[in-house]
Amino acid sequence: MKHFTRPLLLAAVLGSATYAQAQVFSFDAAKADFFAPVHRNTPAIGDYNNDGLPDVYYGGQGMNKEDSKWTWDITIDVKDEEGNVIGQQPGRQDLSWWTVGYLFTSATPGAWNYSASYGPLIEQGGDFGANGLPPSTYGTPRWFDYNNDGQLDFYTTGKNEYGWSIDGAPDGWYTLLYKNEGGKFVQESLAQLPCGNNEKGNPSSNNSSISFGDYNNDGYTDILIQCYKRWSEDGETKGARALELYKNMGDGSFEMQKVFNPIAYDENKHPADLFDTNEETFETTPTMIAKPMSHGAAIFGDLNNDGYLDIVSTGYSNDGIVFYIYKNNGDGTFQELNLEDKGFVGVYESELALADVNNDGWLDIISLGTDDTPNSTKRGDIYLNKCDGEFNFDLSTAANGNGLYGESEACMRVVDLNHDGLVDIISSGWSHVNGGWETRVFYQNFDGTFTHQQSLRHFDSGAWEIADLDGDGAIDLIGGGWGDRNDGTQQYGCFADYYAGQETEGIEAPEAPSNVTASMADGKLTVKWDGTGEAGHSYNVYVKNVETGWISQIVPADTETGKLKVFHNLQTTLRSDNSTGMQYTISAPADGNYEVGVQTVKSDWQTSVFTKASISIIDGIQSIDKELNDNGKETVYSLSGAQVKNGAHGVFIVKKGNKVTKVIK
């Protein structure tokens, strides 16, 4: 088996440098001023109109003053009953709070038009309410294609507040799904999904943690959500921690799944009602949900390279601050793993990321947050996959010199920023190093450590999102939150920030996969291909009905150009330490003619075009082009039931005994 290795450079070439260019980002004031200055939300980037350009949803809370400065005055006048000023005190002055939502649509690379859902900027106007999307605060908005029509739909959690409300939302909390109907969005009902937040810190870590992926390989994207959910009962608002898996039923609805097996049967910890037993077969099925958690993060990713998405989660649980991994059994259920003595450290106010840090073809785990030691230590941990398929990892910590800062209430994004073949890290949070809020850029060195090379404007109660927003191939950052204006006015306020990536050397598309094939067996469709064998590469796969337009895709991307449509769920792409014989299997789709495609994705998010193949399915059986073989073991019939001989052409049923094995075209 061939293992990927990190890029090697000779010491003579490197000299004393262990990393590439340090200064990658520059602040773009003009673009920052164009976006909405808000806090308590996270931007969401996706190509919702399929024009090849990234669009941005931007919601949150803002302060709408007539001068649109959106500032917080440090002091206000204290007046007597006659209106005379008798002193001053800290506070907000003449502020009008709004819950807002903007959809910024790319007109050209790096330029946008926008429509507003609520609270438009006074001097800019805007197309109020035209897009159909909601405002949101304390939200975690995401783009994904829930109905497999090739158009990105919109999902968010949030809270009713400051001029915005959702009828029937308990205690103001909601989860919303909006269907994309040709660029106009229509609300769908998702009342069964949990929602909530913790009312502090960054939305990315302390509100709802969302991950998307097809956990059961049925061709539809499912939802994993961690949050503190709220509901009303007998006139009282109640709440509870939640880590819940919602299966996409393929008809526009989602159902929470009880598919988690405990570590082992224990009468005290795991009572018998966690399982349903079939009295005839004595088979048991789990009735357990994942361990309830909040104030943390949960994420999909294939940790053992078996083609099925596992689950990693950390945060507060009813048993304290914990770390869990659930192995996907490949049959629709998950097995809780025993992580005792494996070195995993639970953290809260946390963020998780999965990435191939050391380029060995296996996903590693990056964890930021606060542990449960007496000093509440801020941690920055990297768990390197041992590549044994048994969920064993080697731990390196910020305290022991991996170069990261321990951070809490963190927002983290992982991508190769300088195109050297190694993933880098952007994190925003409260650091143990110098205290306070700061956004930091860490570059990975060729020895596997990270170096803090740049700090960006700091803010809290907000988050970043990243993508190539201006079309030059370099990663850009957009985000915002609450913080110091840094302009000498001693004012605090809401901000929108835009940092343009400057590193353009080394940007190139990867080699496309070769020898793509599709086949049917046992009610499943399998796509196979030869990988490139290059370090840091992963693979994206789609299956498309060429007649109906139905499409199942691991990560939404344009099937013709290969351009990605989203930039947040790439941990669901396929990786392997084997450069040949790679494959992905899903449940058989409906009868029809299908096109399949596989593309290569580099760690800097450059993509190849898709290498394609075709397959036809009739009565759930594969149709292929082939000469008929009269070998005496198979009997071939026409669709009318007449037996045919070798050399005939058309559509036929092939039987082996009484079993239909395939349909040959």
Averages of pLDDT over runs of 10 residues in the chain (665 residues) are 39 41 78 81 92 92 51 54 71 57 90 70 48 81 96 87 64 82 84 50 54 97 88 73 92 90 62 63 76 91 95 92 95 92 93 95 95 92 96 94 90 93 91 77 94 83 89 91 59 80 88 94 91 92 96 98 95 78 90 95 96 86 50 56 59 57 55
Burial degree of 335 (CB within 10 A; 0-12, 13-18, 19+) = middle
> How far apart are the C-alpha atoms of 302 and 45, rounded to whole Å?
24
At residue 200, the pLDDT reads: 36
Taking the C-alpha atoms of residue 246 and residue 257, their distance in angstroms, rounded to an integer, is: 6
Rounded (5°) CA angle 450-454-457: 130
DSSP string, 128-164: TTTT-PPP-SS---EEE-SSSSSS-EEEEEEE--SS-
611 sits in which H/E element? strand 611-618
Query: Checking phi first, is residue 400 left (phi over 0); if not, alpha (psi -120 to 50) or beta?
Result: alpha
Alpha-carbon span 425 to 415, nearest angstrom: 7
Phi-psi bin for 83: left (phi > 0), alpha (psi -120 to 50), beta? left
Q: What is the separation, in whole angstroms, between the first and last Cα of the chain?
A: 36
Query: CA dihedral defined by 432, 433, 435, 440, rounded to 10 degrees?
Result: -100
Regarding beta strands 659-664 and 75-79, do their DSSP bridges make them parallel or antiparallel, or are they unpaired?
A: unpaired
72 CB neighbour count, 10 Å cutoff = 16
Cα separation, 288 vs 268, in Å, equals 15
Cα–Cα dist 509/490, whole Å: 46
Pair 564, 573: CB distance under 8 Å: no
By DSSP bridging, strand 348-355 and strand 334-336 are: unpaired
What are the residue ranges of helices labelled H in 288-377? none
pLDDT of amino acid 654: 62
pTM for this model (two decimals): 0.85
CA 501 to chain centre: 22
Residues in the chain: 665
pLDDT at site 4? 42
616: nearest Cα among 545, 530, 558, 561:
545
Which positions ≥6 away from 492 have C-beta within 8 Å? Answer: 71, 72, 74, 482, 483, 484, 485
Q: Which residue has the tokens 């690379």?
A: 109
Which tokens go with 609?
């075009």
- Residue 566 confidence (pLDDT): 97
How much of the chain is in helix, strand and coil states, percent to nearest 5? Answer: 5, 45, 50
Amino acid 659: pLDDT:
56
